[in-house]
Copies of this chain bind each other. A is one copy, B any other.
Amino acid sequence: MGRSSYRALILIGDGLGDRPVAEFDGQTPLEAQPTPNLDALAAMGECGLMDPIGVGVPAGSDTAHFAMLGYDPHKYYTGRGPLEALGVGLEVQKGDIGFRCNFSTVKPGPKGRLIVTDRRAGRIKTRTDELARTINGVGPIDGIQFIFRESVEHRGALIMRGEGLNDGLTDADPHKEGQPVRPVRAKRPEARRAAAALNTWIAEVHKLLQHDPVNQERRKQRKRPANIVLPRGCGVAPHLPPFKEHTNASGGLVVEVGLIKGLGRFLRMNVLDAPGANGSYDTDHLSLARTALEALRKSQIVLCNLKAPDLAGHDGNAEKKRETVAKLDEMVGVLLGSLDLGKTVLVVTGDHSTPVSVKDHSGDPLPITIAGHGVRADDVREFGERPCAQGNLARIRGTDIMPILTNLIGVAEKFGA
C-alpha cells in the first residue's frame, strides 16, 4: 500500500447518464433536476465526459466496474457466470467455471423434451435455500464437483470444479418460455466433458426437485414448482490481482448490487454493508453515504454505488429518475459536509447510461467531476451531461479513473525514471 494519507471516494450513480427527455424540454433528468450539491462539487472540480468501455459502447454494470476499479475488462472480464458466483458468496477458485442460473418451471413435452413454462418459477421467493441443499446433493459427476447457491428470488449461481474444465459451453436456458430446455453443447472439443457432465447434472437435479417437499407444497398452493435449474453465461474464474496489489492503494466498497460486492470481495477490498441500503427506490441512500465515509477511515480509495437511477432508467420513468438524482445530490451533501477536500478527492459519475427513452443500458458517455486535493478546477458550474462536457477533463475512459486517483493521492508509480 502506497504511503499516503490522502484519500479518494468515487460516488457512482448506477445508470446515471441519459438522453434529452421531451417532458423536460429536451433536458436530461440530471440536467432537469436541481442539484445544488452536485453543482457545488462541479464548481470546485474538474469536469468531463467518461466512456466506461469505449466511445459508443453500451457497458454492463459488471464491465464498467471492472474498468473503473482499474481492471481493463477486455483483458480481465471472463463473463457474467463466475461473477454471479462471486456475488452470491461462493468461493471461486482458479480453474473453476461459473454460471448464473434460474430456478425455472418445466413440463414434459413431445419426444421426451422438457418445455420451459416459466423461466422464473413463479418468481419464487421463499425456501430456495432448502432447494439448494437438495441440489448440492448431486455429484460429483465424472470427477467434477457441482456447487450451487441460491440468490434473491429465482436466481442462483453454479460452480463446476475439476481438472481441465473448459468454459466453451452454451446455455441450457432457452431464454424464452414455451421452448424446450436446450441441451448444453460444447463450443469446442475441449469442453465436451464439461458439457456432458452438466447435462447429467441438470437432469438429476430436475428429478430430485420434481419431488422435493418444497415443490409439493408449492403445487398445493397452486404456485409453479421450481423443478429445474437452468445455467447460462458460462465463464472461467477470472484472474484478478487483488485491488491493493493492482492499484497500490487499499480499497473499500459500499454498493448495493451483490455482483459488485462479490467482485470487491474477490479483489480483497474492504466491503461494507450499509444498513437500510436495499438496492431499491426506497433504499437508505444517506446510510450509503455515511458508510462510504466510514470505509474511508480504513481504505484509501472507496467506491460507492447508488443503484436507484438505473432502476428508473430500466423502468423508463423520467420523473422517478429525477427523484433518484435528487437522492444522489443529497448523498453528495452528506459527503461535502464531512470530507476535508484538502486531503480527499471526491469523484461523481455513473457506470453507464440507462436512458429512460431506451429502458436499457446505452453507450452514451457519462458526466464526471473530480474535486478536491490537487485538482485543477475548471469553469464548469453545473453537474450534468452537457455542462460537464465543456470541462477540462475532456473525454476519458473508465480505466482512466484509477490512474487519475492514484496520481492525485500520491500512490501512483512512475513509468520510467
Q: How many residues of A sit at the interface, in one of the four size bands?
A: 35 or more
- Contact between chains at A415 and B73 (CB < 8 Å): yes
- Contact between chains at B55 and A415 (CB < 8 Å): no
- Nearest to A48 among chain B residues (CB) is B394
Contact of A407 among B77, B362, B390 (CB under 8 A): B362
Contact of A417 among B26, B80, B400 (CB under 8 A): B80
Q: In the bound complex, what is the Cα–Cα distance between A327 and B53 (angstroms)?
A: 38
Residues of B within 8 A of A20 (CB): 374-377
Residues of B within 8 A of A53 (CB): 415-416
- Contact between chains at A80 and B394 (CB < 8 Å): no
- Contact between chains at B19 and A376 (CB < 8 Å): yes
Q: In the bound complex, what is the Cα–Cα distance between A80 and B416 (angstroms)?
A: 7
Contact A403-B64, Cβ < 8 Å, known A361-B414, A389-B392, A394-B394: no
CB neighbors of B among A371-411 (8 A): 374-378, 385-386, 389-390, 392-397, 400, 402-407, 410
- Nearest to A54 among chain B residues (CB) is B403
Least Cβ–Cβ distance between A307 and chain B, in angstroms: 15
Per-position 1/0 for A26-69, Cβ under 8 A of B = 10100000000000000000000100011111111111101000
Residues of B within 8 A of A396 (CB): 55, 395
Contact A413-B374, Cβ < 8 Å, known A386-B392, A394-B395: no
> Does A363 sit at the interface, judged by CB under 8 A?
yes
> Does A357 sit at the interface, judged by CB under 8 A?
yes
Q: In the bound complex, what is the Cα–Cα distance between A110 and B406 (angstroms)?
A: 41
> Does A358 sit at the interface, judged by CB under 8 A?
yes
Q: In the bound complex, what is the Cα–Cα distance between A162 and B396 (angstroms)?
A: 46
Residues of A within 8 A of B (CB): 19-20, 26, 28, 49, 53-64, 66, 73, 77, 80, 233, 355, 357-358, 360-364, 374-378, 385-386, 389-390, 392-397, 400, 402-407, 410, 412-417
